[in-house]
Structure 1
Amino acid sequence: MSKVFEDKFSELQADMVSICLEYVENRADEIYIYCSYEITSRTSNFFYKVNGKVLRNHELNGAVDGSGGFRYDTSVERQRGVLNILDSNIKEMVKLCEEYDREMPTEIKLIYNVANNSLKADYRYDMVHSNDPDKIGSVVFLEWFEEMKSNM
C-alpha cells in the first residue's frame, strides 16, 4: 500500500472509532465495529465491552451499577447518528479504494482497546454472506457479537 492510501484509510477507521467512543462517552473497555461491503450491500454496526460485559449499543446501561447516577444516552437518534457516520465512512473507503485502484475489503472488524489506545483490524476480501441465501450482513454482525460475548 502506498503511504497516502494507508493514511487516508486509517483516518477513516479512526473516525469510526472516534464516533463510537463519543457515543459511549469514553466509558468502555473495548469498542467493536463491524463493516461489510459486498456487491450492492453495505452493513455497519457496533458494540462494546464495558465493566467486563460485552453489550450491544442499546444495552450499555446494563453495565452501570446505578450508584453514581451515570446513565448512557442510548437513544435511537444517537444510535442512528453513529450508524449514519459509519455508513458514510464505508462509502468513503469504497471511493478511496477505487481512486487508488485497491481492492475494498468485503468485511472489516475493528477492535479498539480504550485503555491502551490500540486498534486491531481484521479484513476479509472474499464474499462472507452474499453467496449464502440465508445470511445478510446484520446476521454476520450478530454472530460476531455472540462470539465475542461467549469469549468472556
Structure 2
Amino acid sequence: MKVFEDYFSELQTDMVAICLESVENKADEIYIYCSYEPEMYVFDFFYRINEKIVHKHQLNEATKGLESQHIQVYDVSRERQKAALRIGNQNLKLIHKKCKEFNNEMPTEMKLYYNVKQNSLKGKYRYDLVYSNDDELLPEDIFDLWFEEVKKLV
C-alpha cells in the first residue's frame, strides 16, 4: 500500500523527468521551483549546462563557444516550454491533492535540485507564506532571486 511519501516522491520525480525531457537528458543539474499560495500554483525551472546557469528558453546559449561538431541544439519553442510548465503545474496540483488526502500540510515553496550524473534529488521546503503577504513580491521574483543566487555559485 502506498503511503504519502511514495506519492510525493513519484510526483517530484515526474517533475524532474519533464525537465530532463526538455533537454533530452543533456544537462548537469536541474533546479525546479514550485510554489503554492492560496489558489495560485507556480512551477518553473532552470539548468546548469556546460558550467552555465541558464533559463529554459536560453538552453542553446549554454553551447555557444563550444568547439564540437556534436553541439546539442535544444528545442526551446514556446510550445515545448508551455507543455513542460503545464505538466509541472499539474503535478503540483496532484501533490496538493495528495496532501489533502493524507492530511498533510502543503508546502508553500519547494526548491528541488537534481544532479543528473549522480541521479540525486534534494529538496528544500517552506510552509510559511513567501509572497502572498507582500505587496511587491511575485512568485517570479522569488524564482529570479534563486536563479541569480545559483548563478553566483557557479
- TM-score normalised by the chain length of structure 2: 0.94
**Matched residue SS, 2:132:** coil
The residue aligned with 2:81 is 79
- Note if contact 1:23-1:78 (Cα within 8 Å) is conserved in structure 2: yes
- Note if contact 1:106-1:127 (Cα within 8 Å) is conserved in structure 2: yes
RMSD: 1.3
**Matched residue SS, 2:124:** strand
Equivalent residues in 2 for 1:12-31 (5 A)?
12-31=11-30
Structure 1 letter corresponding to 2:139: G
Structure 2 letter corresponding to 1:55: V
The residue aligned with 1:33 is 32
The one of 69, 72, 90 equivalent to 1:70 is 72
Q: Kindly state the Cα deviation for residue 47 of structure 1 after the two structures are TM-superposed.
A: 0.3
Q: Could you give the per-residue CA deviations for residues 46-82 of structure 1, whole angstroms, max 9, x where no partner exists? A: 0000011100001111111273243111111000000
Alpha-carbon distance in structure 1 between the residues aligned to 2:140 and 2:76: 19
Q: Kindly state the Cα deviation for residue 136 of structure 1 after the two structures are TM-superposed.
A: 1.2
Q: Kindly state the Cα deviation for residue 3 of structure 1 after the two structures are TM-superposed.
A: 6.2
Does 1:100 find its partner at 2:99? no
The residue aligned with 1:123 is 125
Alpha-carbon distance in structure 2 between the residues aligned to 1:31 and 1:85: 16
The residue aligned with 1:42 is 41
In structure 2, do the counterparts of structure 1 residues 66 and 20 end up closer, same or farther at CA, with 3 Å as the change threshold? farther
Q: Kindly state the Cα deviation for residue 150 of structure 1 after the two structures are TM-superposed.
A: 1.1
- Note if contact 1:33-1:44 (Cα within 8 Å) is conserved in structure 2: yes
Structure 1 stretches of 5 or more lacking a match?
none
Structure 2 stretches of 5 or more lacking a match?
none
- Note if contact 1:42-1:137 (Cα within 8 Å) is conserved in structure 2: no
Identity of counterpart residues, as a percentage? 54
Alpha-carbon distance in structure 1 between the residues aligned to 2:18 and 2:67: 25
**Matched residue SS, 1:34:** strand
Q: Kindly state the Cα deviation for residue 38 of structure 1 after the two structures are TM-superposed.
A: 0.4
Structure 1: 4+ residue segments shifted above 4 A = none
Q: Kindly state the Cα deviation for residue 105 of structure 1 after the two structures are TM-superposed.
A: 0.1
Structure 2 letter corresponding to 1:58: H
Structure 1 letter corresponding to 2:34: C
Does 1:53 find its partner at 2:55? no
Aligned length: 151
Alpha-carbon distance in structure 2 between the residues aligned to 1:108 and 1:139: 15
